[in-house]
Amino acid sequence: MDFTPPARVQPLVARVREFVEQELFPLEPAFLNQEFSTLVPQLAEKRAQVKAAGLWAPYLPPEYGGLGLPLVEYAYISEELGRSPLGHYVFNCQAPDVGNLEILILFGNEEQKRTYLEPLARGDIRSCFAMTEPENAGSNPVLMDTTAVKEGGDYVIDGHKWFATGADGASFAIVMAITRPDADRHHRASQIIVPADTPGYRLVRNIPVMGGPGSDHASHGELRFEQCRVPQTNLLGPEGEGFRIAQERLGPGRIHHCMRWIGICERALDLMCRHALRRRVSSSSVLADQQTVQNWIAESRAQIDAARWMVLHAAWKMDQEGAYAARVEISAIKFFVAGVLDQVLDRALQAHGALGMTEDTPLSHWYRHERAARIYDGPDEVHKWVVARRILQSYRA
């Protein structure tokens, strides 16, 4: 079996790689040492360059300005983008917008597509996804207190959300709220589009995460909805189907994250190898001569390759049979690749010594912020449970 990029995407992969290395690597020192918001104008210029080069949003269908790549082809691009912490944002492939774009394509009506999907696809606006609540275990998404009550032609939303990535500066949120309290637990919630300038919509704060609150896209917001009134026409998809739509969103979303993490791993391994060859540890040897470091390099190489092949297989299965059929593979890569990321970053940082703790390489940024990979979109333990349950089912049968 051949795991090199299909011939069709190879030139694209090469162009994306070149762009990331030449245009984005030089911006990393500023990204690592400044607030994201101060960098937005420069990043807007880079986004314009990406569009002009015909590389914009490769996963989006052409009618929305993208390249229409299937998941398994986009996987190779996403890996390239993941090699810089700026890659996905500059190519308009960043979470949570990518997931919101997908559900707007699948479930949005014509008006919603015009108002929200099209400007989001162009990169003119950003969005956030407000599902998790501080008072409820996010691991069990059917637990929720936020309500949307019908009144006249409106929904009146009351609730408390947090960790809405990119809420700072987002033009709208897709909010999960209980609309049918008496239905069974999988049919109580709906997804509703709420513009950020709606009275009663309040960004309470950017939550300090691993040392800082961040800003703009690079932040996680706490939100309050207080008698927040939107027309019932802002319902996304059928009423009571919020849970199902969230599942639709999370399937490809998890594959997207895994692809990005593999790109991060590749960069971390690259940095580790270069540093190990450069760093003198005695008059006659460099770090790369030490067997411990050689073990780290070999183990990382093997783990990254295993992770990539699992992700490509999951993406292929999802392209062929859909998210539901691929759910066990998706759960398996979610915890496996997050674990590989954790280990590869830790080794690369350790190999850099004190330098690894600084902002002179992207390692410490990733080490802090990608720890969350084992928590968001379902913690490790929940995904392991999904996989184990499936295996045990076959024994019970």
Residues that bind ligand FAD (CB under 6 A): 96, 129-132, 137-139, 163-165, 220, 372, 375-379, 381-382, 385
**Smaller CB separation from ligand FAD, 123 or 378:** 378
* First-to-final CA distance of the chain: 32
**Smaller CB separation from ligand FAD, 313 or 371:** 371
Tokens of 329: 């593979």
Name the minimum Å distance from CB 348 to ligand FAD.
21
Residue at shortest CB range from ligand FAD:
138
How far is Cα 294 from Cα 300, in angstroms, rounded to an integer?
10
Q: What are residue 325's phi and psi, to 5 degrees?
A: -65, -30
**Torsion sign across C-alpha atoms 215, 218, 220, 221:** positive
Query: 145-153, long-range: CB within 8 Å, 24+ apart, which pairs?
Result: 145/178, 146/175, 146/176, 146/177, 146/178, 146/225, 147/177, 147/178, 147/179, 147/181, 148/175, 148/177, 148/178, 148/179, 148/190, 148/192, 149/179, 150/179, 150/232, 151/229, 153/231, 153/232, 153/233
Name the minimum Å distance from CB 369 to ligand FAD.
7
How far is Cα 329 from Cα 309, in angstroms, rounded to an integer?
11
Q: Are 213 and 147 in contact (CB under 8 A)?
A: no
Q: Is 239 helix (H, G, I), strand (E, B) or coil?
A: coil
How many CB atoms neighbour CB 13 within 10 A?
17
Return all residues near 328 (Cβ < 8 A) that are at least 6 apart: 386, 387, 390
Name the minimum Å distance from CB 125 to ligand FAD.
16
**Smaller CB separation from ligand FAD, 80 or 370:** 370
**Smaller CB separation from ligand FAD, 5 or 379:** 379
**Smaller CB separation from ligand FAD, 5 or 263:** 263
Name the minimum Å distance from CB 164 to ligand FAD.
5
**Smaller CB separation from ligand FAD, 49 or 139:** 139
Name the minimum Å distance from CB 220 to ligand FAD.
5
How far is Cα 126 from Cα 330, in angstroms, rounded to an integer?
27
**Smaller CB separation from ligand FAD, 276 or 332:** 332
Name the minimum Å distance from CB 383 to ligand FAD.
10
Element (DSSP H or E) covering residue 28: helix 28-33
Name the minimum Å distance from CB 167 to ligand FAD.
8
Q: Is 15 helix (H, G, I), strand (E, B) or coil?
A: helix
Please choose, from the candidates 340, 263, 345, 348, the residue with its C-alpha nearest in 3D space to the C-alpha of residue 82: 263
**Smaller CB separation from ligand FAD, 9 or 131:** 131
Name the minimum Å distance from CB 249 to ligand FAD.
10
